[in-house]
Amino acid sequence: AQSVTQLDSHVSVSEGTPVLLRCNYSSSYSPSLFWYVQHPNKGLQLLLKYTSAATLVKGINGFEAEFKKSETSFHLTKPSAHMSDAAEYFCVVSPEGNTPLVFGKGTRLSVIA
Amino acid sequence: NAGVMQNPRHLVRRRGQEARLRCSPMKGHSHVYWYRQLPEEGLKFMVYLQKENIIDESGMPKERFSAEFPKEGPSILRIQQVVRGDSAAYFCASSLAARTRTGPPSYEQYFGPGTRLTVT
C-alpha cells in the first residue's frame, strides 16, 4: 500500500526566510511523487514532480524538492518565502501508471510580513 | 487548450435532493478521476473512469454515489439523497491514455477548479 505523511500540519515563516515542508512516503513500487499547491477556495496547481529522473527537481515559483530514497523523503524547499506563497501544500504519491493519486493531509504555509 | 473544466463551481442542495457534478477533461485525455476534499483534509480518491468504463471505484461510498463517463459528453458524479456529510469540495482530474515516448511515464493528472457542494 502507498501512503504519504506530511510531518507538519502548519508551518509559519517570515517573508524572505527559507521554507521547508516535509514529506515522507511509503510505496511498494518506484513511485512518482508530486507537490501540489492549493490557494484558498481554488483548485490544485502542480508545483513539481519526480519521475525517477534527476533526484533534485525544480518546480515553479522557485520551489524545489529532493527525492531521497534511503530516507523515503521528498521535502519541498524554497530559499526565500514570498507573501504569495501562503497556501495549502500537498505531497502526493502515484504508485505507477494510471493509478489514483494518494494525497498527504496537507501543510498550511503562513508567511508573516 | 482549455484545462479541465468543472461545473457548477458552487452547488447548494437541501437534504434529500440530488447533486450532479460535471467534469470535462482536457482535450485528448480519456482518463478521469474524482476526488473529494472534506474541510481541513487532503483529497481522497473516489473513482477512476475511462470512456464508458469504471476502472476503480474503491473510494466511492457504496450507496447514493454513482459516476459515469459516456462516450460523448462530460463525466458525471451523481449523489442521490444528499446529506450534510456530503458537503465538500469535489475535484476532477484527467490524464493521458498513452505512455510518453521518452523516459518513464508520469501520467500527470491535471485538476479542475472543483465543485463546492453545500448541503443545507
Q: What is the pLDDT of residues B37-90, one digit of tens each?
A: 988 778 999 999 998 899 999 999 999 999 999 999 999 999 999 999 999 999
Are the Cβ atoms of B42 and A103 closer than 8 angstroms? yes
Specify the pLDDT at position A98.
61
B53 DSSP β-pair partners: B50
* Cβ(A91)–Cβ(A23) below 8 Å: yes
- Least CB-CB distance to A97: which of B42, B107, B114? B107
What is the mean pLDDT of the segment spanning A98-109? 87
Q: Please indicate if any CB of chain B lies within 8 Å of the CB of A32.
A: yes
Are the Cβ atoms of A104 and B42 closer than 8 angstroms? yes
Buried b or exposed e, range A75-92, using 16+ CB within 10 angstroms: bbebeebeeebbbbbbbb
Tens of pLDDT, residues A29-79: 778 899 999 988 778 899 998 877 788 999 999 999 999 989 999 999 999
Is residue A104 classed as helix, strand or coil in its secondary structure? coil
- Least CB-CB distance to B112: which of A43, A51, A105? A43
Taking residue A34's Cβ as centre, other Cβ atoms within 10 Å add up to 27
- Distances in Å between the Cα of B1 and the Cα atoms of A21, A31, B5, B27, B112 are 32, 29, 11, 7, 14
Q: What is the CA radius of gyration of chain B?
A: 14
In this predicted structure, the answer to whether residue B14 has a pLDDT above a threshold of 50 is: yes
In this predicted structure, the answer to whether residue A83 has a pLDDT above a threshold of 80 is: yes
What is the mean pLDDT of the segment spanning B85-112? 75
Sorting pLDDT into bands at 50, 70 and 90, what band is A94? Answer: confident
- Least CB-CB distance to B114: which of A30, A43, A49? A43
What does the DSSP 8-state code read for residue B104? S
Pairing of strands B110-111, A19-21: unpaired
In this predicted structure, the answer to whether residue A88 has a pLDDT above a threshold of 60 is: yes
CA distance B41 to B118: 16
Query: Percentage of residues in chain A with pLDDT exceeding 70?
Result: 96
In this predicted structure, the answer to whether residue B98 has a pLDDT above a threshold of 70 is: no
